[in-house]
Amino acid sequence: MNVAIIQFPGTNCDIDTYRVFNDYLGVDATLFWHENTDNLEKYDAIILPGGFSYGDRLRAGIIAAYSPVIKQLKKLSLKGKPIIGICNGFQILVESGLLPGALLTNSNLKFICKWVNLKVEHNNLFTNSFQSDSVIRMPIAHNEGRYYVSDDKLQELERNNQIILRYSDSDGNTSIDNNPNGSISNIAAVSNANGNVLGMMPHPERASDSLLSPYSTDDGIEIFRSMILSLEVMIKE
């Protein structure tokens, strides 16, 4: 099994993500420059890691959304290829139309860097290592993380079980008091309608070693492990 980790100018979570796959999960990972014309189809999954692509010029993710690699991602997403966008990667997926909605400036107009509680709303290929309604911990670090969709689109996401993670307290309560950035309906992660593309503002690669967590958690690695286990089942079939 092998995974491609896409690099843009300004990406800064690529090496952390690479190490989680190679050193912790034993999965071959390749750092893939966004202008590389090699075929991504040979990879089992694709990760767009966090950072500040193009220095967040114009707005976060918009320039990277026009990169040559995005054309491949759009085609592969329609074939069911698992794709995860983390933080800036999520912003890129939204700006490129691979995921619905928009990611706006945090409601407090400040960069937020903190650990948060997250309620697992639905199980899909990225969360099947967790029980539904589980509460997990991961850090966030962003200035434009306030997820927004129209009311009609929000209802559609709800109907299709596309809301994967919500900001919550330690008991799973998803009130506005537990919303760090003002995201609509406390949304922290969403998928596409087919469930093979995931965008998330929390950083799973920074919560993959309990020794590095102030809460002794490695919940983040389970996002990646869930995907790997799902892929193994798909390959056997």
CATH number at residue 220: 3.40.50.880
Clarify whether 205 is annotated catalytic: yes
Task: Show the tokens assigned to 184.
Answer: 């609509």
Check 87, 95, 142, 144 and give the catalytic one: 87
Show the tokens assigned to 79.
């074939």
23 Cβ contact partners less than 8 Å away, ≥ 6 residues apart:
none
Kindly give the confidence (pLDDT) of every residue in the chain, 237 residues in length, as a single tens digit, with 9 standing for 90 and above.
999 999 999 999 999 999 999 999 999 999 999 999 899 999 999 999 999 999 999 999 999 999 999 999 999 999 999 999 999 999 999 999 999 999 999 999 999 999 999 999 999 999 999 988 899 999 999 999 999 999 999 999 999 999 999 999 999 999 999 999 999 999 999 999 999 999 999 999 999 999 989 999 999 999 999 999 999 887 766
Q: Can you tell me which residue has the tokens 């790997």? A: 228
| Cα 118 from Cα 53, distance rounded (Å) | 26
Task: Give the structural domain span for 77.
Answer: 2-236
Which one is catalytic: 13, 95, 121, 203? 203
Q: Which residues contact 2 (CB under 8 A, 6 or more apart)?
A: 27, 28, 29, 30, 42, 43, 44
Is residue 214 classed exposed, middle or buried when 0-12, 13-18 and 19+ CB atoms within 10 A define those classes? exposed
Residue 126 dihedral angles phi and psi, to the nearest 5°: -100, -10
Q: Which of helix, strand or coil describes residue 175?
A: coil
pTM for the model = 0.96
Q: What's the sign of the alpha-carbon dihedral 90, 113, 222, 185?
A: negative
222 tagged catalytic: no
What pLDDT does residue 237 have? 63
87 catalytically annotated? yes
Q: How many domains are contained in the chain?
A: 1
Set 95, 144, 205, 222: catalytic member: 205
